[in-house]
Amino acid sequence: MLLRRGFTLLDVPLMVRAEALVNTAHFPIGQDQTYSIADEDKWLVGTSEVPLVSYYAQEIVDATAPIRLAAVTPCFRNEIGSAGRDVHGLYRVHQFSKVEQVILCEDSLELSEQLFEEITANAEDILSLLELPYRIMAVCTGDMSQKTYKQWDIETWMPSRQAYGETHSSSNLLDFQARRSNIRYRDAAGKKHYCYTLNNTAIASPRILIPLLENHQQEDGSIRIPEALQPYMNGLERLTR
């Protein structure tokens, strides 16, 4: 879906130097959440946002049109500080897979707002195709990281929790990451500007399996497979015991 909507899919490294995590503002605050490689300046990524943004570090890019990037990767998070919350089951795990959207654009607040809504809509469309109930929450300043100008979380209904649980997140970072990573573009007059960056979780597994299995479970215990997924399941319409 993202390819059809103009995103370029990249195969990115899962191990990065600390510099990349600092430049994308995941370090130093999030260092305790990140797995390190012993005796090396290498860290396992908790999101492909890090290598996607870092791909253009120290470069002057052509931002005439927004640069839309995506990656499908395993991700690793230590989850220190979760205080034992959600450590059983699929909700909070140390390794998961994620489809990430990243956009670099000109330093226009109006344009970045349009792109923010675009990447959020992409995630919404995926949830609609999966036939899942969800809501969008505006994240307050106190719950956002230092890099974030604006953030919306998408929460999907999870019957076993009797609550909505976060499954997606959209962030508009303005030029925070680009300044650290030194990613710039030239305007029509040739003047250099720092890009704006945005990111969104298109989908992450296994967490999405919670609402997917629970909302589609039938009275006989079988799981109805949403029509959009059936071609990927060789036409199977239900999961049965």
Q: Is 92 in the active site? A: yes
Q: Is 207 in the active site? A: yes
Burial 12-35 (b: 16+ CB within 10 A, else e): beebbebebbebbbbbeebeebbe
Q: Is 238 in the active site? A: no
The residue from 49, 54, 77, 100 that is catalytic is 77
The residue from 17, 92, 179, 186 that is catalytic is 92
Q: Is 77 in the active site? A: yes
Give all strands (DSSP E) within the chain, no chain letters.
Answer: 8-9, 15-16, 43-44, 60-61, 67-76, 95-105, 134-138, 150-158, 163-172, 184-186, 192-194, 196-205, 223-224, 238-239
Phi/psi-derived region of residue 94, left when phi > 0, alpha when psi is between -120 and 50, beta in every other case: alpha
Q: Is 169 in the active site? A: yes
The residue from 54, 169, 170, 171 that is catalytic is 169
Catalytic positions: 77, 92, 166, 169, 207
